[in-house]
């Protein structure tokens, strides 16, 4: 069959009329299949997926035209079939019955040849449109599957930049939870050992969410690793073979601000908090670029932090970010988080707020760290209800044990 030749199935129990119709359609360039009853036509239809045009007599023994049409319409997993009923019936009730069965058009006996031809040509155009739409849907489905696969790969890559949900590193017990509002998001946090005596801790939130935010997030997260001390912005190469030098949090933030200025042209920015904890003394030196201040719990009470903070990354070039220092005692807990938690809304439009968040963390000070954080998220979800989250939610909690 030629690529542009349509296949049509003719169903007519009058042998003479069937021969006439078959001869006409062959003359008009169609590939013609024929059957003299509905049962035979049904078998042909099931065996040949190329049949998308059917011209069927209404009144036939065993399986009539309306029954055949019903059976064709029941095939949901194949391409659309244009069905024309050839009938001597002309009463409105008969026409309604045919339409309800799924017939697309009617040809009334006796018919003239030009009318029959144009009616079938109209069906051809509809089939072409249906096939074109089906092909586009198939292409979209494949594209959607590729996007889903890519998102899963991106989510796995982003997950690899996060610490395990709980554990202990160099005398620091930690626990964390990350909940993107889409498959991937713009939040990222981690703890980065800087030699044996210091630990780098960062958390940031790229404005927006989804793929664009995640791309910026992964790019920035890779810059904050310590896999290659000679290339890391957290460490400067040592002189004459000496150990690498820890870069101050303010300088790290200055460098990131220079690298990510282009995001401001799109109206985006990054809130960022990075600090270096001296493991022996508990001194924590940090920079806060538009990010929420950490929550410190000492003996079940919240400690006030009086730093003013700085502007987010990507807002202003050549901005010098400030270093702040605070002291942590053994047993203290410090929590880093993104604003998706305190700024989550209830179904009534009320923010969860810093007060509720701090009250929960202080009130669960006597419980294991992982229970305190998971309990916070559980309480937040209960308060939040079934409404979709509008922002990514991240929290990292540390308990000082040295």
Smallest CA-to-CA distance from 295 within 339, 336, 344, 332 is with 336
Question: What is the rounded average pLDDT for all residues in the chain?
Answer: 87
Lowest mean pLDDT, pick from 89-98, 278-287, 290-299, 373-382:
89-98
pLDDT at 19: 93
Q: What is the pLDDT of residues 98-124, one digit of tens each?
A: 777 788 888 888 888 988 999 899 999
Structure confidence by residue, pLDDT tens digits, 48-70? 999 999 999 988 888 999 999 99
DSSP code string of 92-153:
HHHHHHHHHHT--EEEESS--HHHHHHHHHHHHHHHHHHHHHHHHHHHHHHHHHHHHHHHHH
pLDDT in tens, 116-156: 999 899 999 999 998 888 888 888 888 878 877 767 777 77
**Contact yes or no for 171/401 (Cβ under 8 A):** yes
Lowest-pLDDT range of 99-103, 292-296, 311-315: 99-103
- Domains of the chain in start order, with CATH, are 7-136 (3.40.50.2300), 161-400 (3.60.40.10)
pLDDT of residue 198 exceeding 80, the answer is yes
pLDDT of 230 > 70? The answer is no
Supply the pLDDT for residue 256: 93
Mean pLDDT, to the nearest integer, of 319-345?
A: 94
Question: Token pair of 240, please?
Answer: 């004459």
Tell whether pTM > 0.75.
no
How far is the CA of 287 from the CAs of 76, 116, 217, in angstroms?
Answer: 61, 81, 18
C-alpha dist (Å) from residue 273 to 119, 123, 298: 71, 65, 21
SS3 203: strand
Least confident window among 26-40, 76-90, 95-109, 361-375: 95-109
Of residues 184 and 267, which shows the higher confidence score? 184
pLDDT of residue 159: 76
Torsions phi, psi for 31 (to 5 deg): -85, 115
pLDDT in tens, 346-391: 888 888 999 999 999 999 999 999 999 999 999 888 888 776 677 8
Q: Judge whether residue 226 has pLDDT over 80.
A: no
The mean pLDDT of 163-169, rounded to a whole number, is: 89
Q: Is the pLDDT higher at 195 or at 286?
A: 286
């Amino acid at each position: 069959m030629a690529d542009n030749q349509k296949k049509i199935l003719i169903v007519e129990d009058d042998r003479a009329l069937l021969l006439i119709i078959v001869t006409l359609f062959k003359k008009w360039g169609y590939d013609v299949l024929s059957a003299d009853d509905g049962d035979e036509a049904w078998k042909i239809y099931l065996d040949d997926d190329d049949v998308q045009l059917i011209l069927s007599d209404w009144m036939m023994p065993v399986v009539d035209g309306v029954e055949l049409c019903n059976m064709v319409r029941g095939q949901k997993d194949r391409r659309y079939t244009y069905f024309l009923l050839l009938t001597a019936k002309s009463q409105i009730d008969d026409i309604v019955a045919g339409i309800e069965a799924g017939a697309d058009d009617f040809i009334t006996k006796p018919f003239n040849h030009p009318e029959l031809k144009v009616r079938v040509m109209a069906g051809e155009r509809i089939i072409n449109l249906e096939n074109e739409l089906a092909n586009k849907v198939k292409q979209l489905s494949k594209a959607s599957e590729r996007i889903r696969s890519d998102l899963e790969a991106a989510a796995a890559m982003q997950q690899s930049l996060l610490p395990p949900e709980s554990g202990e590193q160099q005398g620091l017990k930690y626990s964390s939870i990350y909940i993107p509002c889409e498959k991937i998001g713009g939040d990222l946090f981690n703890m980065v050992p800087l030699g044996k005596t210091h630990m780098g801790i960062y958390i940031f939130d790229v404005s927006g969410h989804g793929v664009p935010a995640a791309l910026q997030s992964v790019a920035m997260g890779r810059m904050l690793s310590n896999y290659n001390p000679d290339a890391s912005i957290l460490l400067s190469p040592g002189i004459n073979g000496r150990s690498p030098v820890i870069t101050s949090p303010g300088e790290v933030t200055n460098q990131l601000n220079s690298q990510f200025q282009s995001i401001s042209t799109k109206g985006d920015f990054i809130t960022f908090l990075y600090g270096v904890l001296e493991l022996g003394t508990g001194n924590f030196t940090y920079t806060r670029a538009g990010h929420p201040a950490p929550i410190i719990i000492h003996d079940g009470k919240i400690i006030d932090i009086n730093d003013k903070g700085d502007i987010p990354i990507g807002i202003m070039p050549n901005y010098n970010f400030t270093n702040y220092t605070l002291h942590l005692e053994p047993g203290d807990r410090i929590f880093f988080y993104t604003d998706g938690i305190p700024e989550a809304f209830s179904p009534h439009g009320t923010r969860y707020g810093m007060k509720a968040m701090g009250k929960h963390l202080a009130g669960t000070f006597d419980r294991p760290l992982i229970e305190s954080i998971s309990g916070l998220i559980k309480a937040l979800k209960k308060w939040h209800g079934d409404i979709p989250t509008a922002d990514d939610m991240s929290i990292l909690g540390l308990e000082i044990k040295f």
